[in-house]
Amino acid sequence: MKICVLSRVAPEAIERLAQAGDVRVWTEPGPIPRDRLVAWIADADAVMTMLTDRVDRDLLKHAGRLKIAANMAVGYDNLDVEAATEAGVMVTNTPDVLTEATAELAWALMLAVMRNVVGAREAMLRGEWTHWSPDGFLGTELHGKTLGIVGFGRIGRAVARRAEAFGMRVIALGRQAPYQPPYVDRATFLREADVVSLHVPLSPATRGMVDRAWLAAMRPGSYLINTARGGIVDETALLEALDGHLGGAGLDVFAVEPVGGDHPLVRHPKVVATPHIGSATRETRRAMALRAADNILAALAGRRPPDLLNPVVWERRAARRHDA
Ligand code: DGY
């Protein structure tokens, strides 16, 4: 069996995979270039992809014997699941293991942007802390505010759980009536949330969802936190809203990544930005690599991968095994 791992990952994951076959790891800095990926995929039985690797119809044409593409991420908008299904390739992600780390980062951004942590630090570095003053470095108190969660799934709920400790009320954006608490309809959600935190995957339904109309309907002085995917937000409209009524934004993700220090959102005084580090803890990155490895090992051993996203491929394979 030939297994490709498209980045350096936890050594334990590589060791685990080595029990099932020859493991080839892309160890150079940055994502594997497309032409190398095309060459690698040609004789691979399994590939562990990163969110920076695009697995599309065109790549899959070169995949002669690929059984599984195991994404080391919970989001899988970099993989064309439909094309993989047609090509008979199983696709998996890594849910659960990064839930708490991502929820922590959403809170880190919320606290940093609302309490002006970064702005105050930068002012200190410029030597501007000349005296204590009643109106110096003011932020917005979280306590008593309403936190609005978009996407009340694993990560959204983990963010919500922490709200009680901060004395915040939680509402969630409901998809359809009847709305049971904490779900509310969109108009109520945007009218009442002091902070909106995004936890939906990027899909055709969510791309550009936070558009000009959405932002205009947010409360004056309210905050947007995005640890999900940049493509959910219309960045031009967000910049306009930040120049206007929005209190600020905490952004871990961008429509096109990576972005430089000169990106207008990164430089905006009302923004705290981080470089897609939602899952970036040692513990979580190790767990993600092991989870992706386990998905590969299952597929190669003829077992159903635990995080299978296109079960129809598995069912077709199982039926063929049964007939044989
Ligand atoms: C994911 O897993 O989708 C995250 O964005 C990675 O940090």
Does one domain contain both 91 and 78? yes
Report how far ligand 1's centroid is from the alpha carbon of 106 (Å): 13
Among 51, 274, 277, 288, which is best to mutate for testing ligand 1, by the most ligand atoms less than 8 A from CB? Answer: 51
- Active-site annotation holds for 268: no
> Closest by alpha carbon to 192, among 155, 151, 145, 153?
145
Does one domain contain both 171 and 199? yes
**For residue range 143-158, what is the model confidence (pLDDT) as tens digits?**
999 999 999 999 999 9
Does one domain contain both 92 and 138? no
Residues 299/305/311/313 CA torsion (nearest 10 deg): -10
| Catalytic residue, candidates 199, 219, 235, 276 | 276
| Catalytic residue, candidates 122, 164, 257, 315 | 257
Query: Is it the case that residue 91 has pLDDT exceeding 90?
Result: yes
Does one domain contain both 252 and 319? no
Average pLDDT of the segment spanning 225-237: 98
Does one domain contain both 212 and 306? no
How many CB atoms neighbour CB 321 within 10 A?
9
Q: State if residue 98 touches ligand 1 by the CB under 6 angstroms criterion.
A: yes
Does one domain contain both 196 and 126? yes
pLDDT band at residue 318, thresholds of 50, 70 and 90?
Answer: confident
CA within 13 Å, CB half, 33: 3
**For residue range 158-216, what is the model confidence (pLDDT) as tens digits?**
999 999 999 999 999 999 999 999 999 999 999 999 999 999 999 999 999 999 999 99
How many CB atoms neighbour CB 268 within 10 A?
17
Residue with the smallest CA separation from ligand 1 atom 4 is 73
Does one domain contain both 112 and 75? no
**For residue range 247-267, what is the model confidence (pLDDT) as tens digits?**
999 999 999 999 999 999 999
> Closest by alpha carbon to 66, among 49, 52, 75, 74?
49
- Active-site annotation holds for 128: no
| CATH number for the domain harbouring residue 312 | 3.40.50.720
Q: State if residue 75 touches ligand 1 by the CB under 6 angstroms criterion.
A: yes
Structure pTM? 0.97
What is the total count of domains within the chain?
A: 2
pLDDT at residue number 266: 98
pLDDT at residue number 64: 92
Does one domain contain both 267 and 299? no
> Closest by alpha carbon to 72, among 42, 102, 46, 93?
93
Query: Is it the case that residue 321 has pLDDT exceeding 90?
Result: no
H or E element, residue 250 = strand 248-251
Domain that holds residue 47: 2-97+282-323
Does one domain contain both 239 and 167? yes
Does one domain contain both 92 and 124? no
Residue with the smallest CA separation from ligand 1 atom 3 is 75
Among 72, 94, 102, 104, which is best to mutate for testing ligand 1, by the most ligand atoms less than 8 A from CB? Answer: 102
Please give the Cα distance from 259 to 279 (Å, whole number): 18
Provide long-range contacts, Cβ within 8 A and 24+ apart, for 61-67: 62/38, 63/87, 63/89, 66/41, 67/299, 67/300
Does one domain contain both 199 and 239? yes
pLDDT at residue number 323: 86
Does one domain contain both 122 and 223? yes
Report how far ligand 1's centroid is from the alpha carbon of 17 (Å): 22
**For residue range 94-139, what is the model confidence (pLDDT) as tens digits?**
999 999 999 999 999 999 999 999 999 999 999 999 999 999 999 9
**For residue range 1-60, what is the model confidence (pLDDT) as tens digits?**
999 999 999 999 999 999 999 999 999 999 999 999 999 999 999 999 999 999 999 999
pLDDT band at residue 320, thresholds of 50, 70 and 90?
Answer: confident
pLDDT at residue number 4: 98
